[in-house]
Amino acid sequence: MPIGRQEFENGKLHSKLEEEIVSFLDERKQRAFTSQEIMEGIRYHTEFTTPEISKMSTFAVADFTSFLHRLLREGKIKMKIVRGRMYIMARREYAKCPKCGAEVAEPKKTWKLAGRPNKKGERIQLHIGLFECPKHGAFKKALGKEKIPAGRSKKSRTKKKKASSKKSPRKKTAKKKKEKTEALMLF
């Protein structure tokens, strides 16, 4: 049944189907599913028994796939290819409150923190999130950990540039001082 332009403009940007997909994946956040398994899990049935029904089901599958791609772009889900099949998993980072164990879905703030380099020059970079427990207030949790190889960090590149630019003026000033002291010794 078609709707008017005004009703279309007043409509929501997301649909119940998107909410069902996200809630299905959130409830099973430790597992990844194919798009077909998600369709079966939320009871989004398609049928390909007759040519007429298969045409409608093809459009339904295309709509479902576009919902998945939109959720992927928005960062609500994540996708990887494993053994030649596309798997989808919940994206939300959950943190448990250290005092009561309540799960908090979204961090209020995130940032990256890099440690000091080891003997090889490698650094460990942590991705940290600040979460808000409704009962006990704010707490921090490490969301990810990444090893940065030697010479790849921004600081190490800028230090090399600064060090090379500082070395050349020092040599010149040292030569000038030496020349001045020699000139003073002559008088």
Percent of the chain with pLDDT over 90: 2
How many CB atoms are closer than 10 A to CB 108?
Answer: 10
Higher pLDDT, 183 or 77: 77
Higher pLDDT, 185 or 2: 2
How many CB atoms are closer than 10 A to CB 131?
Answer: 24
Confidence of residue 1 (pLDDT cuts 50, 70, 90): low
Question: What are 26-73's pLDDT values in tens digits?
Answer: 888 778 888 888 888 888 777 767 777 777 777 778 878 887 888 888
CATH of domain 14-90: 1.10.10.10
Domain boundaries, the chain: 14-90, 95-148
Question: What are 109-138's pLDDT values in tens digits?
Answer: 888 988 889 888 899 898 888 988 888 889
In DSSP terms, which residues pair with 145 in a beta bridge?
126
Structure tokens at 17: 């189907």
**pTM of this prediction?**
0.44
Which of 29, 146, 138 lies closest to 78, judged by CA?
A: 29
